[in-house]
Structures are given as C-alpha cells and as structure tokens.
Chain A
Amino acid sequence: RKEVEQDPGPFNVPEGATVAFNCTYSNSASQSFFWYRQDCRKEPKLLMSVYSSGNEDGRFTAQLNRASQYISLLIRDSKLSDSATYLCAVRRGSARQLTFGSGTQLTVLP
C-alpha cells in the first residue's frame, strides 16, 4: 500500500460546481499536511497547508481527519482557472522529506 494515496480522477466538473478531493495517508506518525497545485508541464506550487482545526482560503477549504487518516480539499464555485492537478503531501513526525500522492486531475468545463 502506498504511503499517500489519491484518487487520480480525472474529475470533470462544470464552472460554478463544488468539488472535493480526498487524500489518505497510512503512517499515523504523519504531522504536517499540504495541498499543492500543479499546472501542466509546470512545477508544483503550494496551495495551502492543512491545519488540525481545518482552514479556509477564499474558495478553498482544507480539512484533516486524524482518526481516519485523510485530508480533504474542497473547492467551491469552480473556475476554469482551477483546472490543474492537485497533489497532497505529508510529512512524518520530525522527518524532513515530504511524501506526495500521485495527484488528482481536475478539469473545470465552461
């Protein structure tokens, strides 16, 4: 089993829709969680960190469920510009390195 797993999609949604992605992690010692966005043929860019209490940034909401060992990303009122691959990343305890999921591809349709 992979340490970090994501549904690869693709998710095709109409503009204005709400879409949610989940990312499960297998190591209960994981301490830090992040969502990255990657556009086609570009580098990953940090979208948001995920805090224990959940956090929101505009149309984006990230949540952490430690009991079930997953993080989620909710995108409200989808825009065409949200089309990208969304990667989750997890850091175990005091480890320096991040472990990434394979990414979920989102296409927002006009």
Chain B
Amino acid sequence: NAGVTQTPKFQVLKTGQSMTLQCAQDMNHNSMYWYRQDPGMGLRLIYYSASEGTTDKGEVPNGYNVSRLNKREFSLRLESAAPSQTSVYFCASDTTGYEQYFGPGTRLTVT
C-alpha cells in the first residue's frame, strides 16, 4: 500500500519554464489537496479537489492550475515558473471529515 505518491522528488526550473507535478493515491479517498510549505509560513493550500471532476481554489492559487484526472490522480501545473514559486510542494488526500495523508513532497527551485 503506497499511500500518496508524488513525482518528481526534486526539480530545478528556470524562470518562465513550465512543469507538472504529479500526485496519486491508492486509498480510495475522495478529496485531494495541493499545499506549498515555505520556511516560517507553514502549509498553505493552493488548490483542492473535493471529488472527481471538481476543483477549488485555496489560499494561494495564483500561478497554478490543477487537474483531477480521475479519483486517484491530481496534478499541479506551473505554466510560467517564477522564483517566488520556489518551495516544497505536498499533495494530500482524505475521506471527507477525516485526517489527511501526505505524499513525500517535491522540492522545487526556480532560478
């Protein structure tokens, strides 16, 4: 049972480049989330998907897009990366009302 998996683990981008972060869960959870974590800022929600086919903005959605591909997969896309998007990105999933489970994270550096 892999839980929540994320790829890639590390990525370096130049300003203006695009990339997609992948996330998958095998726990049959309905809801999935993307967070970013910066020093001293805690976890901030970027986007979430309450169920397959729906997505909603979180606290810091600007500069990102998401796709809930199916129940298992939820991707995060940076169309034109900026240095301010240098961060650690975590994907999480849960069944409504219960605790969230996190993936191992993607460390992204934008130069």
Contact = CB atoms under 8 A, between A and B. Distances in A.
Interface of A: 8, 32, 34, 42-46, 49, 87, 89, 91, 96-103
B42 interface: yes
B40 A32 contact: no
A87 B97 contact: no
B40 A102 contact: yes
B33 A97 contact: yes
Q: Interface residues of A: mostly helix, strand, loop or mixed?
A: strand
Contacts of B40: 8, 102
Contacts of A98: 45, 100
Contact of B99 (A34, A102, A103): A34
Contacts of A87: 42-43
Nearest to B49: A96
Contacts of B41: 102
Interface stretch (B69-77, B79-87, B101-109): B101-109
Interface residues of B, number: 23
A103 to B, nearest CB: 6
Interface of B: 31, 33, 35, 40-45, 48, 50, 58, 90, 94, 96-97, 99-105
26 contacts: A32-B97, A34-B99, A42-B104, A42-B105, A43-B90, A43-B102, A43-B103, A43-B104, A44-B43, A44-B90, A45-B102, A46-B101, A49-B99, A89-B100, A91-B97, A96-B31, A96-B94, A96-B96, A97-B33, A97-B58, A98-B100, A99-B45, A100-B42, A100-B43, A101-B42, A102-B40
B18 to A, nearest CB: 25
B22 to A, nearest CB: 16
B105 A43 contact: yes
Given A43-B103, A96-B96, A103 B42 contact: yes
Given A43-B103, A96-B50, 10 more contacts: A34-B99, A43-B104, A43-B105, A44-B102, A87-B42, A97-B33, A100-B35, A101-B42, A102-B40, A103-B42
